[in-house]
Structure formats: structure tokens, C-alpha cells
């Protein structure tokens, strides 16, 4: 037999005989039970009411911002349509980019092939 009594048996027997401790333990159990119930209600309310309503608000705000942006873009395009200078400048820039691209494609590739001094020839001579 062990020299020491089981600590759990000792605590259980002393707790059961002390009315004040037993009352406090009972109140704590009730408080924990109420807390669990409250948390369950909070979670249920949040998932069924709060989150969906907030999501609707965010979606409405996003829809309004998209509509406002679309209207702004349409107005700007209308303004550009009435301004012939913007068309000339835009056309000139586009034409310049196309010409530069065509020149780069036709001349850069052929000049290194004809001369025999391509980018890899430097390394072969070393």
C-alpha cells in the first residue's frame, strides 16, 4: 500500500464536504454552460445575419464604384471623340511605334547575319 493517499480522492472528499466550495463549483459550471450557450448564439447570429448583410453592403459599394468608373470612362471617351488633336497625336504615336518595331525586326536580324559579326562571334574569337 502506498504511504500517501490518492490526491484526487482527498480533494474530492474535502470538496464534497465543504459547502462553500461545492456552491462555487456549481456556479462556475452554470457560468460555463451559459458562456457556451452565448457563444453558440453569437456564432449562429454572426454567420446568419451579420456576415451576409455586410457582404451585401460591400457588393453594393463595389457595384456603385464600377458604375461610376464606367460612366467616367464613357465621358472621357466622348470627350476624346470630340477632340481631333488627341486623335492625331494618338495616331502619330501608334504609327511611330509600328515603324520602329518593323525597322527593328527587319534590320537588326539581317545586319548581324550579313556582316558575320553576330553576338556569338565575339565569344568564339576569344
pLDDT in tens, 40-84: 999 888 888 888 888 888 888 888 888 888 888 888 777 766 667
Q: From its phi and psi, is residue 2 left (phi > 0), alpha (psi between -120 and 50) or beta? A: beta
Dump pLDDT digits (tens) for 15-35.
566 888 888 889 999 999 999
Rounded Cα gap, residues 100 and 123, in angstroms:
29
The ranges assigned to domains in the chain are: 7-82, 84-126
CB-CB contact of 86 with 80 (8 Å): yes
Amino acid at each position: 500500500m502506498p504511504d500517501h493517499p490518492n490526491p484526487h480522492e482527498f480533494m474530492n472528499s474535502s470538496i464534497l464536504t465543504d459547502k462553500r466550495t461545492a456552491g462555487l463549483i456549481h456556479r462556475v459550471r452554470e457560468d460555463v454552460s451559459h458562456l457556451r450557450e452565448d457563444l453558440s448564439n453569437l456564432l449562429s447570429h454572426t454567420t446568419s445575419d451579420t456576415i451576409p448583410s455586410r457582404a451585401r453592403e460591400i457588393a453594393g459599394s463595389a457595384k456603385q464604384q464600377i458604375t461610376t468608373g464606367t460612366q467616367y470612362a464613357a465621358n472621357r471617351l466622348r470627350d476624346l471623340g470630340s477632340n481631333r488633336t488627341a486623335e492625331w497625336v494618338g495616331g502619330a504615336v501608334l504609327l511611330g511605334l509600328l515603324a520602329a518595331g518593323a525597322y527593328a525586326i527587319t534590320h537588326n536580324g539581317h545586319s548581324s547575319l550579313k556582316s558575320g559579326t553576330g553576338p556569338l562571334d565575339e565569344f568564339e574569337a576569344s
